[in-house]
């Protein structure tokens, strides 16, 4: 191996597969990141005021917690829809069990972040309950459900891996670490069940030649999620830490 | 106390017994845990003979050395498994090859990272994958060899996940954190798949304790008691001070599945102690 593999370069993690490629979820972008022109040096309170009623994730650890809360809301809402759908009702026992368990895990993660953020921030700084639009997903179709599930889980892994070193408080880093490995277990199980080939659980599209998993910065993740159109409620991410 | 004496006491009483009657091994871990760590420490040397886990380079370096020891353990295990002739063709072999590729890459990555930081990487210790006779995973004449390959893979991968998690705080603020996190989630992917493979082989794929995620502190059907320390503590339901059973509509089963728990350095060393062939 050449070079400095552990150097603190921001560009050494690759987005190996664009969010949209796997699921074919060509839905128009949501209102996410519509407001991105706020000067960085403007005080937080003024920013919020100037944006009217559009929520900003916030700065520092609070911003990262709200970011994770948004992703967990998305996952929880998605799997809740899956369990209401025709595909799940008729799925194989193992797929039914996996999806039911995963739905529970994501709801628990969502409720955890809701409680955790409310414990440290005033209500107006807690990401509200988001509205979702899953009209691009066919919940009666196995391909549509499972490819979207895999997309969300791999995105979750990339999101936590790419946010870990932006976290300040060690407690939050440890909590994120407890969650990301469960997301990775989900991703591997669903990939193994659904994708052809025996090595897709940790496929070469997500694990690179150094044996490192996907990791992408919050801004990249939010753009990818925005492109799916799943999130209807607009919010901004103008103050997230970038290093 | 040297490692051989420790293992002698450990194995003659417990490990040579049949799997199903090895409950006493649990107690052995508890009683001899600290001695195991002290006994094992001299096994981890660098090129110049220093004890790798006792260098004064700080918590981050020690974290990486521990990670490297674990990766050595895993990498050699998968190479020997693939060479053994025990693995069935098809999916099992393909899965082990993919994991082997990653573990070998992790070894190289961590060695290069330590060297890049001006630190001597720990040498690969000598491993004893029989745990002094308790297993014979590479022996084609052992009818349980494949099951033991699955058992050990699950134990090593679930340990790896918890071990990296336990070092995250030690790596915070260093350039090593992100790569360690990225290895950590790969270990979790491996863990999920070997758990699926083992559950499929035993025809228990729908068993709550054999899913890709860990339920409570249950090691799962067919996992021998010696692997229980890999799962102790996984039953946690309080996260960040919040009792998630009380907070949500879910019970301890689902809540415990939703979070993997860290292991401290000493706990990791206690788990791998039976697999060290070190003759210090």
Question: How far away is chain A from the Cα of B219, in angstroms, using its nearest Cα?
Answer: 16
Percentage of chain B beyond pLDDT 90 is 78
Mean pLDDT of chain A: 84
Q: Does B250 contact A181 at a Cβ distance shorter than 8 Å? A: no
Cβ count within 10 A of residue A43? 8
Tell me which of A134-148, B5-19, B172-186 is least confident: B5-19
**For residue A236, what pLDDT is reported?**
97
Q: Of B127, B31, B173, B151, nearest to A173 (Cα)?
A: B173
Report the alpha-carbon distance of residue A99 to residue A67 in Å, rounded. 23
Taking residues B20-25, report their average pLDDT. 33
pLDDT digits (tens, 9 = 90+) for A122-181: 999 999 999 999 999 999 999 999 999 999 999 999 999 999 999 999 999 999 999 999
Partner residue opposite A199 with nearest CB, options B94, B241, B247: B94
Tokens of B59: 């918590």
Report the alpha-carbon distance of residue A233 to residue A226 in Å, rounded. 10
Confidence of residue B278 (pLDDT cuts 50, 70, 90): confident
Q: What is the 3-state secondary structure (H, E, C) of A63-97?
A: HHHHHHHHHHHHHHHHHHHHHCCHHHHCCCHHHHH
**Geometric angle at alpha carbon A76, from A73 and A79, rounded to 5°:** 145
Cβ(A76)–Cβ(A102) below 8 Å: no
**For residue B7, what pLDDT is reported?**
30
In chain A, what residues touch B200 (CB-CB under 8 Å)?
none
Q: Is A111 on the interface with B (CB under 8 A)?
A: yes
Partner residue opposite B193 with nearest CB, options A119, A183, A188: A188
C-alpha pair distances (Å), A172 with each of B57, B171, B185: 25, 14, 17
In chain A, what residues touch B191 (CB-CB under 8 Å)?
181, 185, 188
Q: Does A215 contact B181 at a Cβ distance shorter than 8 Å? A: yes
Question: How far away is chain B from the Cα of A51, in angstroms, using its nearest Cα?
Answer: 32
Q: Does B244 contact A108 at a Cβ distance shorter than 8 Å? A: yes
What is the fold of A57-233? Ferritin (1.20.1260)
Report the alpha-carbon distance of residue B186 to residue A73 in Å, rounded. 24
ipTM for the complex shown:
0.87
Q: Of A74, A32, A73, nearest to A56 (Cα)?
A: A32
Report the alpha-carbon distance of residue B253 to residue B239 in Å, rounded. 14
**For residue A53, what pLDDT is reported?**
81
Q: What is the DSSP letter of A202?
A: G
Per domain, the residue ranges of chain B are 3-275
pLDDT digits (tens, 9 = 90+) for B206-261: 999 999 999 999 999 999 999 999 999 999 999 999 999 999 999 999 999 999 99
Angle at which helices A142-163 and A60-83 cross, to 10°: 170
pLDDT digits (tens, 9 = 90+) for A201-219: 999 999 999 999 999 999 9
pLDDT digits (tens, 9 = 90+) for A86-103: 999 999 999 999 999 999
Q: Positive or negative, the Cα torsion across B18, B24, B29, B31?
A: negative
Task: Tell which CATH classification among 3.40.190.10, 3.40.50.970, 3.40.50.450, 1.20.1260.10 matches the domain B3-275.
Answer: 1.20.1260.10
**β-strands A235-236, A55-56 pairing:** parallel
**Geometric angle at alpha carbon A9, from B186 and A208, rounded to 5°:** 30
Q: Which residue has the higher pLDDT, A82 or B5?
A: A82
Cβ(B242)–Cβ(B233) below 8 Å: no
Partners of A235 in the β-ladder = A55
User: Rounded to a whole number, what is the largest CA-CA distance in chain B?
Assistant: 56
**For residue A45, what pLDDT is reported?**
41
Confidence check: pLDDT of A59 > 60: yes
**For residue B58, what pLDDT is reported?**
84
Confidence check: pLDDT of B124 > 70: yes
Mutation to test the A interface, candidates B106, B181, B235, most A Cβ within 10 Å: B181
Cβ count within 10 A of residue B49? 8
């Amino acid at each position: 191996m050449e070079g400095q593999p552990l150097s603190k370069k921001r560009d050494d993690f690759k987005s190996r597969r664009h969010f949209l490629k796997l699921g074919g979820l060509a839905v128009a972008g949501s209102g996410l990141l519509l407001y991105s022109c706020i000067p960085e040096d403007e005080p937080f309170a003024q920013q919020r005021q100037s944006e009217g009623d559009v929520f900003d994730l916030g700065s520092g650890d609070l911003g990262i917690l709200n970011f994770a809360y948004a992703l967990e809301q998305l996952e929880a809402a998605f799997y809740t829809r899956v369990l209401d759908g025709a595909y799940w009702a008729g799925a194989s026992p193992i797929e039914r069990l996996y999806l039911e368990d995963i739905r529970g895990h994501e709801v628990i993660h969502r409720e955890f972040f809701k409680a955790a953020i409310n414990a440290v921030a005033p209500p107006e700084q807690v990401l509200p309950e988001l509205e979702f639009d899953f009209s691009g997903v066919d919940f009666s179709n196995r391909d549509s459900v499972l490819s979207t599930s895999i997309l969300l889980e791999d995105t979750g892994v990339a999101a936590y891996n790419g946010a870990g070193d932006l976290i300040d408080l060690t407690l939050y880093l440890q909590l994120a670490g407890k969650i990301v490995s469960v997301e990775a277990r989900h991703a591997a199980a669903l990939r193994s069940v659904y994708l052809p080939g025996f090595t897709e659980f940790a496929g070469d599209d997500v694990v690179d030649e150094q044996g490192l998993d996907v990791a992408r910065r919050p801004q990249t993740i939010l753009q990818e999620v925005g492109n799916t159109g799943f999130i209807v409620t607009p919010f901004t991410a103008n103050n997230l830490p970038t290093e | 106390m040297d490692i051989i004496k420790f293992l002698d006491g450990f194995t003659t009483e417990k490990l040579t017994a049949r799997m199903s009657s090895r409950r006493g091994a649990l107690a052995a871990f508890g009683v001899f845990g600290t001695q195991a760590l002290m006994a094992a420490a001299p096994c981890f040397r660098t090129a110049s003979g220093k004890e790798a886990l006792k260098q004064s380079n700080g918590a981050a370096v020690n974290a990486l050395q521990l990670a490297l020891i674990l990766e050595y353990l895993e990498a050699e295990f998968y190479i020997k498994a693939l060479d053994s002739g025990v693995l069935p063709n098809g999916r099992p072999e393909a899965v082990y090859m993919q994991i082997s590729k990653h573990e070998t890459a992790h070894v190289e990555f961590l060695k290069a990272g330590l060297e890049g930081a001006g630190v001597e990487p720990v040498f690969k210790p000598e491993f004893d994958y029989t745990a002094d006779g308790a297993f014979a995973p590479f022996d084609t004449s052992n009818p349980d060899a494949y099951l033991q390959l699955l058992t050990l893979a699950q134990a090593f991968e679930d340990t790896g996940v918890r071990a990296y998690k336990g070092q995250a705080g030690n790596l915070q603020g260093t350039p090593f954190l992100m790569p360690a996190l990225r290895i950590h989630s790969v270990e979790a992917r491996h863990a999920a798949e070997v758990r699926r493979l083992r559950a499929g082989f035993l025809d228990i794929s729908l068993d709550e304790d054999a899913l890709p995620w860990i339920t409570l502190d249950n090691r799962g059907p067919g996992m021998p008691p010696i692997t229980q320390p890999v799962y102790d503590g996984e039953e946690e339901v309080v996260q960040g001070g919040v009792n998630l059973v009380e907070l949500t509509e879910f019970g301890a089963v689902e809540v415990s599945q939703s979070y993997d728990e860290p292991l401290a350095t000493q706990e990791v060393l206690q788990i791998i102690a039976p697999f060290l062939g070190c003759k210090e």
